[in-house]
């Protein structure tokens, strides 16, 4: 049985879900023993611990010049002391150039089978990846498992499905028959999907797999060799993905350097050298806007970016103020606000918001939000695991510095003790009241657990400001609460013009931070927060070019 046949049912379901946009998950998100095995969690933790202080020797890449690695756990604030093979840019490029001409000749079914098989192998390592993610990003256990394991695999599957669908959109060949009266002109025509060339995927420190696998698998399914350049602070989770891809490639008698890992260190980074190399044709990037804009401006490259943005919450009216505040408090607390979809700017009218219980004043709602944040933080069974740890020391510094913003502090940030990791780097959300005329304060991303409650004249000003922030500075998500149908339509329309999706009236167990594979487009590509979207057709079609040949039919 071919690998394609083995995984065809999953691929067909994924393609169907792409079109229907309904719920589909190929990889269960709950780390349940009856799904993954009774010992899967313990085995994964042991594998992670056994890797500490050692060389990561799973990669099948020749030509390493040295070994290095500088990952540090946000939970222990100690170095992981894992070292990885380091390669010169020339070696990486030379390997990819050779692999390109092999991989582009592999038909799309075989490519899909190999990539789907790699995800099947990765599935067996979800728990190991979860612990690797915890101790590089600071995510809580459940988020680390879900985001770096099942959810990332679903996003990878989505990219495979989208690529497979687009590569099969047109026939490989056809006989063209044009009537000309007394005779016909007949041509045999054929079409080839020609990959662009070497693909560079630049990872981020907070979501090392979820934000990278779509680019990796999107480029691989369309025939491009990939160089994966992880963030120096979060290597191990994506290294495991790359190792499994290489394993399946080698088992199928293909060059494992079709997908390479390009590790660097903080003191000797190779990102720019790779990005500027003329052989690199495709670049995927997640990170800050300054570097993202630099990449977008490079000549001769097709670039896919997810950059920084300013995410808004528009509060007009609510059915239940406590449920709305609880939902938003969870969004603020989740992974200590270190998500590109986390809310930052809360627009609340000065005269308050309407509810069936009567008008709720600005101050009253602010206190409800603060109380809900504290309630979760102080819950020993939930708080430490929802908030996780702070990945970067710069984020902790940003929280401290934000306490001096020219506004009223509603809730001060504080540290808390994680029961499992006494030395974890932590910070609870800082909540600050800001007047709507202080645009210079809230017109930039303050990455981390920082929430700004912006007092507006009315809902119309709230909408206008949210739209302006998205148009000028980018936004990836937006939440809105209103019980008025006309206001809802206005928010939807105005934010659509700012190419920003809106989550309306969320309460309960779904939050504005979350994006579902096969249904939600992550980033629209239409505002300064990024120029690409997971996963619309353009995300894969820009990775290859259709080329046609024709020849007269022989009589």
Note whether 3-307+535-549 and 312-504 share their fold: no
Asked if 478 contacts 506 with a C-beta cutoff of 8 angstroms, the reply is no
Task: For residue 508, give Cα distances in angstroms to 152, 373, 376, 512.
Answer: 24, 15, 14, 11
Mean pLDDT of 144-152: 98
Confidence band, pLDDT 50/70/90 cuts, at residue 272: very high
Q: At what angle do helices 126-137 and 40-51 cross, to 10 degrees?
A: 50
* Per-residue pLDDT tens digits for 20-64: 999 999 999 999 999 999 999 999 999 999 999 999 999 999 899
Distance CA 409, CA 10 (A): 51
Residue 555 has pLDDT above 80, yes or no: no
Count of other CB atoms within 10 angstroms of residue 400? 12
Q: Pairing between strand 198-202 and 184-195?
A: unpaired
Task: For residue 374, give Cα distances in angstroms to 85, 379, 428, 430, 481.
Answer: 44, 8, 9, 11, 22
* Per-residue pLDDT tens digits for 442-488: 999 999 999 999 999 999 999 999 999 999 999 999 999 999 999 99
What is the model's pTM?
A: 0.96
Mean confidence (pLDDT) of the chain: 97
CATH number of the structural domain 3-307+535-549: 3.40.605.10
3-state secondary structure of 243: helix
* Per-residue pLDDT tens digits for 517-548: 999 999 999 999 999 999 999 999 999 999 99
Question: Residues for the chain: how many in total?
Answer: 555
Q: Which residues of 161-197 are buried (b: 16+ CB within 10 A; e: fewer)?
A: bbbbbbbeeeeeeeeeeeeeeeeeeeeeeeeebebbb
Mean pLDDT of 411-425: 96
Task: For residue 309, give Cα distances in angstroms to 191, 234, 250, 251.
Answer: 40, 22, 40, 42
Distance CA 427, CA 447 (A): 13
Mean pLDDT of 116-123: 98
**Hey, which residues does 492 pair with through a beta bridge?**
none
The percentage of residues in the chain with a pLDDT greater than 70, rounded to a whole number, is 100
Mean pLDDT of 104-108: 97
Distance CA 153, CA 15 (A): 15
Percent helix, strand, coil in the chain, to 5, is: 40, 20, 40
Task: For residue 162, give Cα distances in angstroms to 9, 15, 287, 303.
Answer: 15, 7, 24, 18
| Structure tokens given for 256 | 């494992």
**pLDDT the model gives residue 1:** 85
Asked if omega into 437 is within 30° of 0 (cis), the reply is no
| CATH 3.40.309.10 matches 312-504 | yes
What are the extents of the domains in the chain?
3-307+535-549, 312-504
**pLDDT the model gives residue 457:** 97
Mean pLDDT of 313-341: 97
* Per-residue pLDDT tens digits for 150-207: 999 999 999 999 999 999 999 999 999 999 999 999 999 999 999 999 999 999 999 9
Q: Is 445 left (phi over 0), alpha (psi -120 to 50) or beta?
A: beta
**Hey, which residues does 10 pair with through a beta bridge?**
none
Task: For residue 409, give Cα distances in angstroms to 269, 331, 366.
Answer: 39, 19, 11
| Structure tokens given for 265 | 């260190």
Q: 214: Cβ–Cβ under 8 A, 6 or more apart, which residues? A: 155, 156, 158, 159, 284, 534, 535, 539
């Amino acid at each position: 049985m071919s690998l394609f046949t083995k995984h065809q049912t999953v691929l067909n379901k994924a393609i169907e879900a792409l079109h229907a946009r309904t719920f589909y998950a190929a990889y269960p998100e709950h780390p349940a023993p009856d799904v993954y095995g009774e010992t899967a969690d313990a085995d994964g933790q042991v594998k992670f611990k056994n890797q500490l202080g050692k060389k990561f020797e799973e990669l099948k890449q020749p030509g390493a010049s040295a070994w290095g690695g500088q990952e540090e756990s946000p939970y222990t604030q100690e170095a992981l002391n894992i070292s990885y093979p380091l390669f010169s840019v020339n070696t990486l490029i030379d390997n990819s150039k050779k692999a390109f001409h092999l991989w582009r000749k592999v038909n799309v079914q075989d490519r899909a089978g190999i990539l789907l098989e790699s995800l099947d192998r990765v599935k067996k390592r979800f728990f190991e990846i979860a612990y690797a993610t915890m101790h590089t990003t600071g995510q809580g256990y459940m988020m680390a498992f879900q985001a770096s394991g099942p959810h990332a695999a679903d996003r990878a599957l989505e990219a495979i499905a989208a690529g497979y669908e687009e590569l099969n959109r047109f026939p490989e060949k056809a006989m063209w028959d044009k009537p000309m009266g007394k005779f016909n002109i007949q041509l045999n025509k054929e079409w080839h999907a020609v990959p662009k060339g070497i693909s560079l995927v630049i990872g981020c420190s907070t979501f090392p797999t979820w934000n990278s696998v779509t680019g990796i698998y999107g480029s691989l399914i369309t025939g491009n060799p990939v160089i994966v350049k992880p963030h120096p602070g979060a290597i191990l989770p994506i290294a495991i993905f790359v190792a499994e891809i290489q394993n399946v490639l080698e088992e199928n008698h293909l060059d494992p350097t079709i997908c390479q890992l390009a590790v660097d260190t903080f003191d000797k980074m190779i990102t720019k050298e790779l990005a500027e190399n003329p052989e690199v044709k495709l670049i995927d990037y997640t990170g800050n806007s300054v570097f993202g804009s630099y990449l977008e401006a490079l000549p001769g490259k097709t670039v896919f970016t997810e950059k920084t943005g300013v995410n808004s919450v528009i509060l007009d009216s609510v059915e239940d103020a406590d449920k709305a505040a609880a939902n938003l408090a969870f969004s603020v607390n989740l992974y200590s606000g270190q998500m590109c979809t986390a809310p930052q700017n809360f627009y609340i009218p000065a005269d308050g918001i309407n509810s069936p219980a009567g008008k709720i004043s600005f101050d009253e709602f602010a206190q409800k939000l603060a109380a809900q944040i504290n309630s979760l933080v102080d819950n020993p069974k939930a708080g430490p695991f929802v908030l996780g740890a702070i990945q970067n020391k710069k984020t902790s510094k940003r929280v401290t510095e934000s306490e001096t913003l020219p506004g009223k502090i509603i809730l001060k940030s504080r540290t808390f003790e994680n029961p499992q990791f006494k030395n974890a780097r932590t910070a609870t959300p800082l909540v600050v009241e800001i007047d709507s005329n202080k645009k210079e304060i809230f017109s930039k991303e303050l990455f981390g657990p920082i929430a700004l409650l912006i007092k507006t004249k009315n809902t119309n000003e709230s909408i206008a400001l949210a739209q302006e922030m998205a148009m000028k500075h980018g936004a990836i998500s937006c939440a809105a609460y209103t019980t008025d149908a006309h206001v809802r339509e206005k928010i939807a329309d105005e934010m659509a013009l700012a190419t920003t999706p809106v989550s309306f009236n969320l309460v309960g167990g779904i939050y504005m931070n979350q994006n579902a594979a096969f249904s939600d487009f992550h980033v629209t590509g239409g505002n300064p927060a990024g120029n690409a979207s997971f996963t619309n057709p353009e995300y894969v079609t820009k990775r290859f070019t259709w080329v046609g040949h024709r020849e007269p039919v022989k009589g």
